[in-house]
Structure 1
Amino acid sequence: MISHPSELAAIQFVKWQELHLKEKPFMLFIDLPADAPDQRKTNLVFETQHVSVKDIRGEQKTFTLNENGFMYTALEGFEDLTTKEEVESQYLPAIEELLKREVEGADKVFIWHWRMRESSASDQAGVIDVGNGMLPLQPANYAHIDQGPGSAFNIIKTRLPQDAETLLQGRVRMLNIWKPLRNNVEDWPLAICDGSTVQVEDLVETDNVRTTIISTNFYALHSPSTQKWFYLKNQQPDEAIIFKQLDSDPDVAASLSLHAAFKHENLPEKYMPRKSIEVRAFVFTNQAP
C-alpha cells in the first residue's frame, strides 16, 4: 500500500435534534410570503467537523463500486465544455459509453441531470435554478446523498413511464460521475466516504421543497468511529470518479457513498479555481439480484 498523509478537512454534518422525532427535516428553496407565520427555511442544524481525509493517489484503482461505493476511472478530453449543446451532444454520450464499459451489468443507462460547479461561482442565495445546468453552483461542503430512494424511484416513474415497471424489477443503481474541467483540482477537492463504513443510522432523510418539485435527500451525522473518508489529490481533468447514490442490490457491501467538497487548508499563493461537471445517471440491470 502507498502511504500518503491524511488531511483534516472541515466538512458540515447535520446535528440530530429531538425536534426531528415529531417534525420531519426540511429545507425550502423558495421565497416565503412575508405574512407566513413560520419563516423558517429549514429545521436542520449543521455543525462543522474536522474529518481525516486520506489521499489515495496511486491506489485509487483498489476501490470499487460494490465494495466501497465509488471508483476512479480515466475519461480523456472534454476539458473545456462551454455550451449546453456541447455537453448534451458530446459529453453525455461519452458518459453513457463510460458507464456501459465500466459498470458491471449496465444493460441500460439513463442520464437525467447534469450540472457545472465552480469554486469561484456566485452564491445562489438558496434559490437554485435546477433547470440551468450551465449556471455553476459553488462546491457543496455538506456530507450528503443527492437523492433518497423515494425520489429516485419517482424520477424513474416520471421520466421513463413506459419502461418503469420493467426496469424496477431489475437492479437499479443511481450514480454520479464527477470530473474536473480545464485544470487540476487545487482548492476544493471532492471527498468520498467509503460506503461500507456508512450506517443507516448516520443518514437523516430531508424534504427539499422547490417551486416545481418536492424531493428527498440524505444529510449525514458525523460518525468518526466508523466513517472513512478519501480523496484524490490534484485530481486531473482526465480522471473521473463514479460514486453511488443508491443501489437496490441488498448483497453489496456499499449501496451508497457520502460525498462533500472541502477546501484545502494550505493553498498555494497562486492557484486555479476548481471548475467541474457532475452527471447523474441511472444504471439498470435487467435481472434482479
Structure 2
Amino acid sequence: MLEVYLDPCTVNSRKVLAGLDLLGTQYHFNYVDYFAGAHKSEDYKKLNPHCTVPCATDDHCTITESNAILQYAADLGADDRHYPKNLKKRADVNRWLLWEGSVWFQSCYVYLVEYVVKPLLKTDPDESIIEEQAPRWNQLASILDAQLAKTKWLTGDEVTIADLAVASPMHLHAAQRLPLDKYPNLKRWLVDGIEKLPCWQKTQGAVDKALLPDRATTNGSHEANSQVHATFKYTKNVEKLTELYFYECDAAKDIHEPGDDPHQVAVTDGWHRVKSFSTDTHGFSVHDFKTRYDKWQNDESVRGSFYPEVVEFLRKSTGAKRVLVFDHTIRSKTNEAKKLTQETNTSQRAPVMLVHCDYTSESGPVRVRQLLKDEAEDLLSRRVAFFNVWKPINRVVEERPLAMCDVTSAPQDDFFKLHLRYRDRNGENYVMRYSAQHKWWYFPKMTPDQAIVLKTYESETDGRARFVGHTAFEDPTSLPDAPMRESIEIRTIAFF
C-alpha cells in the first residue's frame, strides 16, 4: 500500500490528498506536523532529504514531488479517466502539471504568504511585494482563463489530476485576495467546479483549522449557500411491504428492506439562519443546551440524572405542559459493527445512515397507549407531539453529522411505512421515497453545548409540521482522521 507523509494544510499536501481521493487510491496516512518543523527532523530527512512535504513510498520506491505522487498513484489503478493513458491526452495533462510546478505555484504562493501566512504570524503583509508580483500573476491567470473559455476542465470534459494541481495554489483564493473577478472562466472552473468536488471538500477542514483559525472555530461557514454533496439512502416504494426483522426467522429471508435507493443530494449548512428554524414549520430547531452531566455510558445514571434536564429543556423550548422521556440511544462509530437489527443493548448503536422518521400517524398514539395505559385516552384527546433531542457528547461533531429534510419541501406522500418486526410486538417507522424537491439542512461542527430538536410525530393536522425525515451521513469535508462522532438521542413525548 502507498504510504503518504504530509501535513493536510499545506498546498501540495492538500493537492495529493484530494488527488488520491479522486483516483480512489488506497493509502496509509502519516502526519508530518509542518508548523512544528517535523519535516526537518532527522528521521524525516532519512526518508526525504529535501525536507519537503508531501512524500510517498511504495515498498522501496520513494517519491518526493506532489505531482509525481499523483502520476504514480494514477498509474496504480486501471481507471485512466483522471490521467489518460492515451499519449496525446496524457501529454496535455503533463504540460499543465509542469506549468503549475514551474511558474504558477510560485506566483500564487506570494499571495498566500503575504495575505495568509504573515497575518497568522501577526506580521503585516508587504504590499510592495504584491505589486511586484501582480503583473506576472495576471499574465498567468489570463492563460488559464483563455484555456477554460474553451473547455469545462483544463484538458477537456473530464476532471484530471492537472485540475487539482493547478487549483491547489489558489486553495484559499478569498484570503489570498486573488482578483478572480477579472477572469470569469477561471472563477467558474474554481468555484463551481473544483470546490464542488467531494475530494476537494474533504480536505477543506484541515486547511481552515491551520491557516484560517477564525473560520475553523465557528459552527459551519455562516455563508448562505455553503453546501456539501453526499449520498443519502432513500427507499423504493414497491408493491410488497418494506420490513426489518429484529430477530432471526424464516420470514425475514425474503423481504424488501429499506435504504435500497441511494441518491446524491445537496446538504446546506444552516448556521447562517439557525434561529429561523422551528419544529412547527420545518420539523426541527437548534438550541443551546449546556449540561455538566458526563456519565454517558451508565444507562441508569442517564435516566436518573440527565432525563430531568431534558424534561425541563423541552418544557421551556416547546411550551409543553408535561414531557415524558422514555428512551435514549448513544450513537458512536464504535458501535458500527452492531447490526441495525441487533436485539440487545439497544441504547448503544451506530449512527443510522437511512432517511427515516421514528413514528407514523398510527404508531405515535400506539406508543402513548403502551407507556401510559391508564391516562392515554385522556392525553390523546389533546395535542401530543413526539420530540427527539439530538445532542453531541464529549466533543465537537466532526464526522457523520445529522441532516434533516425540511418539512416544507417534503409532503406527506413522500413518507411510507417501514414495518418493524420484533419477537414480542410489531412497530412502524416512516421511510422516504426520493424527490429532487427535498431541501436538506445540517449544522456542522455542533458542540456538546448545543442540541437539535426533531419532531417525529404531531397529532395536530392543521398544517404544522408532523414528521421530519432525517439521517446521519458521510460528510465529505471530514478529515480522514476525524474523531468519531459521539451523540445522545433522547426520545420524548410532549403533552400540551
The normalised TM-score by structure 1 is 0.89
Could you tell me whether the CA contact under 8 Å between 2:258 and 2:431 is conserved in 1?
no
Could you tell me whether the CA contact under 8 Å between 2:241 and 2:256 is conserved in 1?
no
Q: Which has the higher strand share?
A: 1
- Are residues 43 and 125 of structure 1, via their aligned partners in 2, closer, same or farther at CA, if it must alter by over 3 Å? closer
1:80 CA drift (Å): 5.0
Between the aligned partners of 1:68 and 1:37, the Cα distance in structure 2 is: 38
Residue 355 of structure 2 aligns with which residue?
A: 143
Aligned: 1:112 with 2:314: no
User: Which letter maps to 2:235?
Assistant: V
Aligned: 1:84 with 2:299: yes
- Are residues 159 and 130 of structure 1, via their aligned partners in 2, closer, same or farther at CA, if it must alter by over 3 Å? farther
Residue 365 of structure 2 aligns with which residue?
A: 153
- Are residues 38 and 59 of structure 1, via their aligned partners in 2, closer, same or farther at CA, if it must alter by over 3 Å? closer
Look at both structures and tell me which one has the larger radius of gyration over its CA atoms.
2
1:176 CA drift (Å): 0.5
Residue 248 of structure 2 aligns with which residue?
A: 31
Where in structure 2 are the equivalents of 1:124-203 lying within 5 Å?
A: 124-129=338-343, 132-133=346-347, 136-203=348-415
| Structure 1: gaps spanning 5 or more residues | none
Aligned: 1:228 with 2:439: yes
1:130 CA drift (Å): 6.0
User: Which letter maps to 1:219?
Assistant: V
Residue 280 of structure 2 aligns with which residue?
A: 66
- The match for 2:313 among 98, 106, 113 is 98
Higher-RCO chain (CA-CA 8 Å, sequence separation at least 6):
1
Between the aligned partners of 2:276 and 2:451, the Cα distance in structure 1 is: 15
1:272 CA drift (Å): 1.2
1:98 CA drift (Å): 0.5
How many percent of aligned residue pairs carry the same amino acid?
23
User: Which letter maps to 1:123?
Assistant: A
Between the aligned partners of 1:263 and 1:74, the Cα distance in structure 2 is: 25
User: Which letter maps to 2:224?
Assistant: S
Which digits, 9 at most, give the CA deviation of each residue in 1:15-57, with x for residues without a partner?
122xx2xx3322212101xxx4772254556121111110012
Between the aligned partners of 1:273 and 1:108, the Cα distance in structure 2 is: 35
User: Which letter maps to 2:229?
Assistant: L
Where in structure 2 are the equivalents of 1:259-274 lying within 5 Å?
A: 259-274=470-485
1:107 CA drift (Å): 1.1
- Are residues 274 and 93 of structure 1, via their aligned partners in 2, closer, same or farther at CA, if it must alter by over 3 Å? same
User: Which letter maps to 2:312?
Assistant: E
Could you tell me whether the CA contact under 8 Å between 1:13 and 1:220 is conserved in 2?
yes
Residue 467 of structure 2 aligns with which residue?
A: 256
Could you tell me whether the CA contact under 8 Å between 2:279 and 2:454 is conserved in 1?
yes
Aligned with 2:334: secondary structure? coil
- The two structures, once aligned, show a CA RMSD in angstroms of 1.9
- Are residues 165 and 131 of structure 1, via their aligned partners in 2, closer, same or farther at CA, if it must alter by over 3 Å? farther
User: Which letter maps to 1:235?
Assistant: M
- Are residues 50 and 156 of structure 1, via their aligned partners in 2, closer, same or farther at CA, if it must alter by over 3 Å? same
Aligned with 1:223: secondary structure? coil
- Are residues 131 and 111 of structure 1, via their aligned partners in 2, closer, same or farther at CA, if it must alter by over 3 Å? farther
Could you tell me whether the CA contact under 8 Å between 1:186 and 1:267 is conserved in 2?
yes
Could you tell me whether the CA contact under 8 Å between 1:14 and 1:44 is conserved in 2?
yes
- Are residues 182 and 101 of structure 1, via their aligned partners in 2, closer, same or farther at CA, if it must alter by over 3 Å? same
Aligned with 2:474: secondary structure? coil
Aligned with 1:155: secondary structure? helix
